[in-house]
Amino acid sequence: MSLTKWQNVPIEAPKTLHYSHKIAAADLKAAGCLLLTIRTREIKKKHTLTPLTLEAIIRYNSAMENLLNPELLIGAGVIFGLRVVNMTLDTLRLRMMARGQKPLAFLFGVVETLIYLYTLSAVIQNLDNWVNIAAYSIGFGVGSIVGMALDERLAVGYIHLRVISPSRGALIAENLRDQGFAVTEFSGRGRDGMVSMLSVSVKRKNARKARSLVEDLDETAFITAEDLTPVRKGYWGM
C-alpha cells in the first residue's frame, strides 16, 4: 500500500504541477492505492487525477499506515492513559481546593502538571498524527468522568444535608441522633402547611448512610446536599 512511485511529485508546490498532467488510473491501481475505491467514479470517468486529489490520496495512505503501525498505537495508548490520569487528578484537585484540602490540592497539582507537559509535548511534536490527537482528546473526556467517580468513592471532606419532611421530621431526627449524627431542627411552612426542616452536617463518607436512613423513614422527604468547609470543628459523629 505504498505511494513511493508518486511521492516525488511536487505536491507542496502546486504551481509546478499543472492540471493538464495526467496520471493513468491503471498506473494508480498498480500502485495499490487504498483511496482508489473511493474515487472510482471520478477516475473511470476522467482517467485523470488533479494535484489536490493526489495529495489527499497520499495523506489518506499515510493515515492508514499510522493506524496499522503497532508502535504508533502503543504510543497513542500511553498518551490516552496519561491523559486520563491527568484529568482525573485535575478534577480531584479542583474538588480539594473547594473543600479547603490544601495538601492534597498541592500534591495533585504538581503531579498533574508533569503529566500534562509530557503528553502535550508528545502530541505537538507530530500534529499530523491524528491517532495521538484523538487519544489525547478522548482521554480528556474519560479522565473527567473517572475523576468525578473517584471523588465520590474517596469521600474526602464534609457535606451538609438539608431534609424537609411534611410529617415525620421528629422521627427522622431521633433516628439520626441514635445513629450518631448531629441534627438541628427547624419549623417551616410550605404550600400544604407546616413542615420540619433538618440540618445535618456529616463527613462525606457517612452521607450515603444518613440519606438512606431518611429515605427509609419518609419516602416523601426532600433532601439536598452541598459541600461544606467547617470554620470550627464541631460534632460530626461516627
Q: Are 197 and 169 in contact (CB under 8 A)?
A: yes
* Residue among 56, 65, 61, 60 nearest 14 (CA): 56
Residue 116 is predicted with a pLDDT of: 93
Domain positions in the chain are 4-67, 73-154, 158-228
Query: 143-146: long-range contacts (C-beta < 8 A, 24 or more apart)?
Result: 143/83, 143/84, 143/85, 143/86, 143/87, 143/88, 143/90, 143/91, 144/87, 144/91, 146/84, 146/87, 146/88, 146/91
Q: Are 76 and 131 in contact (CB under 8 A)?
A: yes
CATH numeric code, 158-228:
3.30.70.120
Mean residue pLDDT of the chain comes to: 77
Q: What percent of the chain has pLDDT over 70?
A: 67
Residue 152 is predicted with a pLDDT of: 84
